[in-house]
Structure 1
Amino acid sequence: MYMKKRLSLGIVVIMSLALALGGVMGCGAKAPAAGTTPAATDTAKKGPTIKISSKTFTEAALLGTLSLQYLKGLGYPVENKMGLGELAVIRPALTSGQIDLYWEYTGTGVINLMKHDPVFEAQESYKLIKEWDAKNNIVWLDYAPLDDTYGIVVRGDVAEKYKLKTISDYVALVKKGESLKFVGFPEWEGRADGLPSFEKVYDFKMPKGDFVNVAMGLNYDTLKANKGDLAIAFTTEPRIVTDKLVMLVDDKKAFPVYNAAPVVRKEIVDAYPTLADDLKKLSSVLDTRTITELNMQADIEKKSVEEVSTTFLKSKGLLK
């Protein structure tokens, strides 16, 4: 931001000094523009401004803000367009050029954009949507290890008692006749990629008396009240951390993968040959546990998304 200055006799002195220094600064380097530091000028990249956006929920806002702060620190010209909207809004904004970059989930791309059946392997899901979207001049950069999908969480005391580490461990107990209360919600119980798929993949039938049906979102409270032993959950929910729940390993891949990846207009990728490698350094440090902890800082500890993002980037050496 530039400040307006009053004309005074002092300006004559300033102009004289500027003329005298002109010969010293002249042959190449220019003085930094007002409001920029010499370091920013040195690292500034030339090219189109990258308009970075996000969906509206906390995790999406974090991913967008991490990208914005990180790329800005590297000298990319960026514009903050955070919180634009969900898929029906943000996707057309990307393809029309209103925005240039946001983070999307591979599972969302495969299922909602391609109208493809769910995919349960990370690389396969990524390859499918990446190749499909190339025709739209949209580039899916390398995805992060974080997988925001369904998962099975267990109360810590229950996991310790039965030595539960994988979903197969739980299924083995059910087949032996052990009764463990499983907390779910109506939508998941009936949908094709929910309980029916879960039972099919793990080759078992959940006893009806063991299934506790609650409204979505009450699964954690039900476990905390000791009215359930296990529950269906989303793998990056903050309460997995705060309630000290154990996420069982989906060892037979019953749940579709939803790895997050930066999706960028091809025009921007072409303009900045270093962009893909730079963003890979960010995405590579965002695994499921890490994003869950960042979600917790924002949602539970009530820190601002900007503060959480800045602290994390600095801790990883991605921001000075």
Structure 2
Amino acid sequence: MEITVNAFIQTLMTRRGELWTALLQHLQLSLLALLIATIIAVPLAIWVQPHKKIANVLLQLTGILQTIPSLALLGLLIPFVGIGNLPAIIALVVYALLPIFQNTYVGLDEIDPSYEEAATAFGLSRLQKLVRVELPLAMPVIISGIRTATVLIIGTATLAALIGAGGLGTFILLGIDRNDPALTLLGALAAALLAILFSFGLQLLQKVRWRYSVMALGAILLGFGGVATYQAVVKPQEEVVIAGKLGSEPDILINMYKELITAKSPNTKVTLKPNFGQTSFLFNALKSNQIDIYPEFTGTVLESLTKPTKTQLKQAAAGDSYQIANDLLKKQQLTMLPPMQYNNTYAVVVTQKFAKQYQLKTISDLNKVTGQLHAGFDLEFIDRRDGYRGIKDVYGLQFQVKSLDASLRYQALTKGTVNITDGYTTDSQLRQYHLLALQDDRKLFPTYRGAPLMSQKFAKAHPTIVAQLKKLTNQITEKQMQEMNYEVNVLKEKPSTVAKKYLTQQGLLK
């Protein structure tokens, strides 16, 4: 899909309020992380400057920390510190340590020894030499390191949106998921301009006297960092936090939850955290009480979140998936409310042209064309028992597979980069691109019926919320869900609007 100037300007005007909020979130995250990294790295470099061996060890250590993939680091932090700002800030500090520490150490280490000798001859103490001689001389190099760290942090902070910390990454992820290049470009341009602006500002600081540089830098960091610290430390007002995975469908569902809850309890503060990404992020966040509710599916519970026996899996395949899933969740002090009607199970998807060319109707038919298959599957699907692993075992199929982000797989299929992908039976793209979901003739994919997932403690403490959410039991058909996804992804309606319209039409909301 091409981006036109008009489309970009329209997106900018429509989303300017959200953009301003995301920009402030991005600034707070970035500058607080930069403040913490500077407070750690600069004094540490000053302390180790006379100790070469320790300095080399620390340089190696900070270098190793920076090689850890950012998404992996966020995933590792969630079980320990939950979701939101805290894990994002920790990850950003880790990435900022190396350039600040390295430049501070190098700046001090490369000072001409004659300056040190002159300072000693004048009888200056170690602290006086540091303040009057060493820091002024090293300050341009130190600020250069802070400048590098700032650009690195602003770019990496876009991933904070995956764990509910907000920022400009929200626009990028949403644009990719909705196949809206204007939205993606808006987030990317804003992040890039922010990085350029701060890089330019710090470059100017390198040319002024070091005291003014420190004062200006300190004012900026403390201003934004102080606000972020206050927000992180002060206990927030009690609220119900509802999160959703990346995609239009979870976004629609969490807006339905909010509408139902506030309809009965208008004074309840409901905070939505959409586009959270992978299942594991949400599940860990729920267990660590960072969120209260999120929409999950019975099949995902059985395949990824619990350890059912073979007997239980057979019973689930026969149609009793909800009860078994809920019984297994109770062992983890969690509960799943009764599910909705539609079955949003996995599907193996091809284009109509490819299916017609090779007369494909079922997954078994793929055995005729294994040599022609070039698959692009979501990473989670590749490793699931009810995904590619199951396809190999149940159907005896094996072919070339690339891992693709879920938001990119349909683009790759329609462009011919791959000729087979995974999807869900309610995906709007099936209608949008006239694709074919092959029949699962050997019943590999279990039933995936969606329902709110929460802790047993939360359910007992909020019976009114539970009663309201139970109104969705056996509601929403596959056709209705696919239509709602189409309205969001293709017609560009807001998930909140689509959710409220459905609830009103069905008499679930006045």
Which TM-score tier does this pair reach, normalised by the shorter chain? Answer: 0.5 to 0.7
The residue type paired with residue 113 of structure 1 is: L
Question: Aligned match of 2:317 in 121, 132, 154?
Answer: 121
Q: 1:257 to 1:201 in 2, by over 3 A?
A: same
CA gap of 1:141–1:115, structure 2 versus 1, over 3 A, is same
Q: 1:141 and 1:294 mapped to 2: Cα distance?
A: 22
Contact 1:53 1:80 in 2 (8 A): yes
Q: 1:144: which partner in 2?
A: 340
User: CA RMSD for the aligned pairs?
Assistant: 3.9
2:410 counterpart residue number? 220
CA displacement at 1:68 relative to structure 2: 1.5
Structure 1 residues without counterparts, runs of 5 or longer? 1-48
The aligned residue for residue 271 of structure 2 is 81
> Quick one: distance in 2 between partners of 1:276 and 1:132?
20
Separation in structure 2 between the aligned mates of residue 297 and residue 253 of structure 1, nearest angstrom: 30
2:328 is equivalent to residue 132 of structure 1: yes
Taking only the aligned residue pairs, the percentage that are identical comes to: 26
8 Å CA contact 2:319–2:447 kept in 1: the answer is: no
Q: Is the 8 A contact 1:51 1:79 kept in 2?
A: yes
Aligned length: 264
Q: 1:246 Cα deviation (Å)? A: 1.9
1:167 corresponds to which of 350, 363, 386: 363
Per the alignment, in what secondary structure is the counterpart of residue 306 of structure 1? helix
Instruction: Tell me which residue corresponds to 1:195.
Output: 388
Structure 2, gaps ≥5 residues long = 1-237
Q: In the TM superposition, what is the alpha-carbon distance from 1:198 to its structure 2 partner?
A: 0.6
The equivalent position to 1:295 in structure 2, one of 469, 485, 493, is 485
Q: For 2:439, what is the secondary structure of its paired residue?
A: coil
Displacement after TM superposition at 1:306 (Å): 1.0
Please give the alpha-carbon distance, in whole angstroms, between the structure 1 residues aligned to 2:241 and 2:382: 37
- Residue 263 (str. 1) matches residue 453 (str. 2): yes
* Structure-1 separation of matches of 2:305 and 2:384: 18
Counterpart code for 2:390: S
8 Å contact from structure 2 (residues 337, 451) kept in 1: yes
Q: Work out which of the residue numbers 105, 124, 130 in structure 1 matches 2:297.
A: 105
Please report how far the alpha carbon of residue 83 of structure 1 lies from its aligned counterpart in structure 2 after TM superposition: 0.6
User: What is the DSSP-based 3-state SS (H/G/I as helix, E as strand, rest coil) of the residue aligned with 2:509?
Assistant: coil
Is 1:319 paired with 2:509? yes
Note if contact 1:126-1:143 (Cα within 8 Å) is conserved in structure 2: yes
Deviation of the 1:307 alpha carbon: 1.0
* CA distance in 1: counterparts of 2:318 and 2:256, whole angstroms: 23
Shift of 1:148: 4.3
Give the 5 Å matches for 1:201-240.
201-202=394-395, 204-206=396-398, 208=399, 211=400, 213=402, 215-216=404-405, 218-226=408-416, 229-240=419-430
Kept in 1: contact 2:297–2:451 (CA 8 A): yes
Distance in 2 (alpha carbons) for counterparts of 1:192 and 1:103? 20
After TM superposition, the score normalised by the length of structure 1 is 0.64
Higher relative contact order at CA 8 Å, sep ≥6: structure 1 or structure 2? 1
The Cα shift of 1:152 comes to 1.0
- Give yes or no for contact 1:235–1:288 (8 Å, CA) kept in 2: yes
TM-score by length of 2: 0.43
CA distance in 2, matches of 1:100, 1:190: 29
- 1:212, 1:228 within 8 Å by CA — same for their partners in 2? no
